[in-house]
Amino acid sequence: MNSVAKTASDYLSLVKFIHTVFAMPFALIGFTLAVTAPGIQFSIRLLLLVILCMIFARNAAMGFNRLADRKFDSLNPRTSSREIPTGTISARSAVIFVILNAVLFIITTGFINRLTLFLSPVALLIILGYSLTKRITYLCHFILGLGLSLAPAGAYISVTGRFSLLPVIYSFIVLTWVSGFDIIYALEDEEFDKINHLHSIPSSAGKRKALVISSVVHLVTFILVVIAGILGKGHYLYWIGAGIFSVLLIWQHHLVKADDLSRVTLAFQTTNGIASIIFAAFVILDLIFLR
């Protein structure tokens, strides 16, 4: 592998680019909701700008997260092999990477419309601020969910220049879905968080109660999926996608037990990545062909 490819690979690993599958499909739902509305035309230019905004914003957020947590990452056996603790990417280079992506995000929103440009600093404040919340509150999981939840509403605003109820419902779906599975992901660091005075629901409530809380949060996700289907007048494709998504919500809770965390990665990454892609595909097909 040549040096350029190696560097690109390192930065893709730094930001866990594969995790883009969590929010990007919902951004595409928001975009499709907009372009299938009466009087709105599809624009490949806007689609590309929305995708770029998602990439730049996520790169900035994940890069900042790795910078903010580099001390803890170096102490945690689970994360000590990450790029900054090992010196693969220097802290200085990571700072430049974060600033560059944040600036590109703001510039890109300016090519969309005034409202997205005006809201871009607020979005950055939320998605970057999440990285510091684990130091002050066990509700950090919900701040992460809030950051990712900007995707569907933000994409809708990018096309229409206005707010609407249905994309906001999808944003709440993302908020509760992400918060619920992030609680599961945090189970692995329960003891580490306690020792290092970091806050999370598992470190505050214990593994068993954390799993119960995650289940309740995902129950709210299911209810919101039903509400979105009713308000959006979803047809059979929507409900097929909603059914698969709901089954996968339940499946991840079957995979992880308080006394067996061996399948946390399967539940967190694989199951939720598949759930997001399948749900978005069916929702988008429903909107395009059955509306």
Residue-number span of the structural domain to which 91 is assigned: 10-289
Any domain includes 44: yes
| Mean pLDDT, residues 182-189 | 96
Q: What pLDDT shows up at residue 268?
A: 81
CA distance between the termini of the chain: 48
Any domain includes 3: no
Collect all residues with Cβ–Cβ distance below 8 Å to 9 and sequence separation of at least 6: 1
Is-contact 66 14, C-beta < 8 A? Answer: yes
Is-contact 168 149, C-beta < 8 A? Answer: no
Collect all residues with Cβ–Cβ distance below 8 Å to 111 and sequence separation of at least 6: 49
Any domain includes 102: yes
Q: Flag whether pLDDT at 1 surpasses 60.
A: no
Q: Flag whether pLDDT at 278 surpasses 70.
A: yes
Any domain includes 115: yes
| Mean pLDDT, residues 70-85 | 95
Any domain includes 141: yes
Which segments within 147-252 are labelled E, that is strand? none
Q: What pLDDT shows up at residue 19?
A: 77
Distances (CA, A) of 57 to 10, 116, 150, 227: 18, 13, 11, 29
Token pair in block for residue 93? 């280079």
Q: Flag whether pLDDT at 187 surpasses 90.
A: yes
For the chain, the domain total comes to: 1
Range with the lowest mean pLDDT among 7-21, 72-86, 235-249? Answer: 7-21
Any domain includes 249: yes
pTM, entire model: 0.96
Distances (CA, A) of 3 to 6, 10, 82, 238: 5, 10, 19, 45
What percentage of the chain has pLDDT greater than the value 90? 90
CATH number at residue 284: 1.10.357.140
